[in-house]
A and B are shown apart, each in its own frame.
Chain A
Amino acid sequence: METLIAILIGTLFAGGIYCMLRRSIMKVVIGLMLLSQAANLLVFTSGGLTAQGPVFLSSAETGSTLAQADPLPQALVLTAIVIGFGVIIFSLSLLLKAHQAVGSDDINAFNKTDQVS
């Protein structure tokens, strides 16, 4: 199972990099989204993939004896998903504003914006 997911992660990463190398600002944001999906899956996989049930405990059991999914990567990924959402939304707004300011959607037109005089 891990092999298939690993290939999926690699494909996501490749697509993300390809998009980030494009000159259209839109594509750059798409690349960012693909990369963040790849990163989330990478962390998720690192805990080992099991199709067993989620980590819900009932009072009778003690947790460590059960064969369950690893909860720690899940918690980390949960945080990462939400942060990733913040990043994407902020970049989208920034992109919109930057497009208005520079008047182009070509990222190569953006490299003179911080020059003095």
Chain B
Amino acid sequence: MWLVAVVIVPLVAALGAGFIGRIPRSARPGVLFLPAFLAWIGLLVCGISAFQGNLPTAFSLAWFPQLEVNLDFNLTGLGWLLGLLITGIGSLILLYAGGYMGGAKQEARLYAYLYLFMFAMLGLAFSDNLILTFVFWELTSVVSYLLISFKHEYAEARRNALQGLLITGLGGMALMAGFILLASATGTWRISELALLGDQVVQHPHYIGILTLVLLGAFTKSAQFPFHVWLPNAMSAPTPVSAYLHSATMVKAGVFLLALFTPILGQTPAWTWTLSLVGGITFLHGCILGLLHQDLKKILAGTTIAVLGMLVFLLGLGTDKAFHAAILLLLAHAFYKASLFMMAGNVDQATGTRDLRRLQGLRRLMPWTALTAGLAAFSKMGLPPFWGFIGKEYAYKAGLDTAVPIWGTGTLLLGSLLLFAIAVKVAIIPFWTKPAATSAESKVSEVKLTMRWPPLTLAMLGLLTGLAPSFLQFPVDKAVATITNAPFEASIYLWQGFNLPLLLSGLTVLGGLAFFGLTRSPLLNRLAFKPLADSIYDICLKGVLDTAKHTTKTLQSGYLRNYLLIILASTFVLVFYKLYRFGGWPSLDWSGAGQPLILGVLLLMVIAIWSATTAHSRLVALISLGSLGYGVALIFAFFGAPDLAITQILVETLTVVLFAWVIAKLPDYHPLSSQRSRWIDAGISLTAGAMLTVLVLKAQIIELGPRISELMVDWSLPQAFGANVVNVILVDFRALDTFGEVIVIAIAALGVWALLTRPYQPKPKPASNPNPSKKES
């Protein structure tokens, strides 16, 4: 129950965020901070208590019990750690957002979305039902769309938001399909039960399908190569959003899912190879993106992609050490990346630019931001005594401890030294270089307090936790235990003695500095850079839209004739196929041919059809239609349906009268279509008629159960007290139908009245039209 309460808090806050305008502006950041902070405290205290066995860890509420889709929540160590990050960083982000937006228009919308996102993310962290997980998963994508397009007056923001939604949304569809396959293979929708199945899923024939679909979902969300393209573009969101969604939390959802599913799907060659290959490529590719961009936020987005790749790579290695390192790195990244993003937001707001080439010597102007940047960057570089150092050391240890240590460690080393170089580029150069003499930035001043403290707090956390790592051992152990599906305990040390990882760390620093020197070359800084994957995305999207436009233009031509032909052609194909498959031929019953009365009526009707169809005079057509209708009435009368005959005669008479009235107001026939098209149409319609004849004849073979009619005949007298069964059916057994029919007629009458009682007035033509409009009274 407490778990759901924690999840609900942000939802309530999201609904309440609309009233933020009633609160004095100076108090807004504090008010925004409070609900998230309360959720964090609650989660921390209750979580510890629950792990000690004093509080329940699971909660379930029936939703669609018949489908086994229920509101199942379960506290896992991994979910707990993620939840603490979501609420903890979230509270700082909201404090920061309160200052960053500072009374800008529509700020309440941003806060509401941020809290809504927090709700979705917490739900995802604690959901124990596959369907529920999917719902929260998609909700984060949707909120991300709303947040990226927050500055919706810019076309680029809208485009980037759509890109993010399409990529993560399509991944979400794949994930859903994977979940359904998984549940049908195992018979359970609960993740906690799936984790206990051992290698049952892995042995299942659908395993590769499940794996592919789930990985697609996780990779798109966590911006893995080649789906990473949306993440740098997502930087068109306001900076608090980038710091929260697109570095610390939402993009971790894919990594979270992979970690959570490691006991279910993991530890197979397919899993290991895919994850380590995709993760490794993403790691290096993200670093290169970070080096090529010059926009502060886009560089950070590149490194986010890199770290996400590193986490996936470590999960792919599949050893306990690698899992441990992944969790440590995830924490490190959450601390330093969110604060670096907020630092970028500060610089952006103070100087008005995020272009690195225009940012110099900000140290004196923005000392607090410079301090934040320095602390966060040291953690990112992996220097002691920061938490980032611990993460990197353990990653090297895990890399050395694999089957192919050269490749594992080599990838990690190369990526880490690139990250080092980027950290120098982003967080040191803008602050510690000499200020340009003529730069307009001399008027720059430090940002306000609410924007100073949240990033500094996070950056300081990176230092403090590095100095006293044992504080974080409990949640880290719990999180790793979720991945390994077994109790886990490992002490975390800052100093582990002189060993190979330490040597590698030294190499990282040297290599990073060298690389940084290389990237200072002016050639690289002038590069106008659009990632290839972005162009591919554009081409794909354009292809889809063009195909849709083309198809629509072909099918929706605006000519009734074409619509009819398409409908007829598809009906022909389907009906003939069905008739062919059905087989058999009914005995032809020509009995009526011997009765001169019927034969005469039928012959007259065929003549009437001919003349109604081909008459050159409208009056002849009208008379033919009338006699045709009376002929139908005769057939009804002859075959035991006097009610039908009466109605038909009434209706036919009325129709003919009205038709005659309308005809008088319309121009006479004049030939419109060519002789050739008439012959073609005659062929088409005769084929259609033949098809229907065959259909009617074949329908005689099918013995539909006559039970409904029999029951109605049986019930008519004793239950409805009516001797005329047809009437009883209409007004009693199917009275609701008849009622609907009355309404249809009433609506038609209303429409006729509206159409015919008002004189027609042409719309005034637009002014651009040179023709003067005809005025009518």
Contact = CB atoms under 8 A, between A and B. Distances in A.
Contacts of A40: 632
A94 to B, nearest CB: 6
B690 to A, nearest CB: 6
A103 B734 CA distance: 44
B589 A1 contact: yes
B564 A21 contact: yes
Interface in B578-636: 586, 588-593, 598-599, 602, 605-606, 609-610, 612-613, 618, 621, 625, 628-629, 632, 635-636
B730 A75 contact: yes
A100 to B, nearest CB: 4
Nearest to A20: B564
A84 B738 CA distance: 14
A8 B598 CA distance: 12
A41 B635 contact: yes
Given A56-B723, A57-B717, A71-B729, A112 B589 contact: no
Contacts of B713: 55, 57, 63-64, 68, 71
B745 A71 contact: no
Given A52-B640, A74-B643, A92-B662, A57 B610 contact: no
Interface string A29-54: 01001100110111011111111111
A97 B760 contact: yes
Contact of A59 (B612, B700, B717): B717
Interface string A72-110: 101101110111111111101111110111000111101
B625 A30 contact: yes
B640 A50 contact: yes
B562 to A, nearest CB: 10
B767 interface: no
Contacts of B565: 21
A101 B741 contact: no
B709 interface: yes
B697 A2 contact: yes
Given A83-B744, A105-B667, A92 B717 contact: no
B696 interface: yes
Contact of B588 (A3, A50, A54, A85): A3
Nearest to A62: B714
B582 to A, nearest CB: 16
By size class, the interface of chain B is: 35 or more
A49 B749 CA distance: 34
Most chain A CB neighbours (cut-off 10 Å) among B568, B602, B748: B748
A33 B560 contact: no
A8 to B, nearest CB: 6
Contact of A23 (B632, B673, B706): B673
B775 to A, nearest CB: 15
Given A37-B632, A62-B714, A64-B714, A92 B689 contact: no
A10 B690 contact: yes
B651 A41 contact: no
B643 A101 contact: no
A83 to B, nearest CB: 6
A30 B621 contact: yes
A54 B666 contact: no
B696 A21 contact: no
Given A10-B692, A59-B717, A96-B665, A78 B613 contact: no
A97 B696 contact: no
Given A21-B564, A51-B640, A96 B751 contact: no
Given A45-B696, A71-B709, A92-B662, A87 B672 contact: no
A82 B651 contact: yes
A68 B682 CA distance: 39
A42 B741 contact: no
Given A3-B588, A72-B708, A107 B560 contact: yes
- Give the interface centre of B640, B644, B672, B762 by most chain A CB atoms within 10 Å: B640
B273 interface: no
B684 interface: yes
B644 A81 contact: yes
Given A10-B693, A55-B725, A96-B662, A71 B560 contact: no
Interface in B716-734: 716-717, 723-726, 729-730, 734
30 contacts: A4-B593, A10-B690, A10-B696, A11-B609, A17-B564, A17-B689, A23-B561, A24-B672, A34-B613, A41-B635, A44-B635, A44-B639, A51-B639, A54-B726, A55-B640, A57-B713, A57-B716, A59-B717, A63-B716, A71-B712, A71-B725, A71-B726, A72-B708, A72-B709, A83-B741, A86-B748, A87-B748, A89-B654, A96-B755, A105-B667
Interface of A: 1-26, 28, 30, 33-34, 37-38, 40-42, 44-59, 62-64, 68-72, 74-75, 77-79, 81-90, 92-97, 99-101, 105-108, 110-112, 117
Interface of B: 557-561, 564-565, 568, 586, 588-593, 598-599, 602, 605-606, 609-610, 612-613, 618, 621, 625, 628-629, 632, 635-636, 638-644, 647-648, 651, 654-655, 658-659, 662-663, 665-667, 669, 672-673, 681-682, 684-686, 688-693, 696-697, 699-700, 706, 708-710, 712-714, 716-717, 723-726, 729-730, 734, 737-738, 741, 744-745, 748-749, 751-752, 755-756, 760, 762, 766
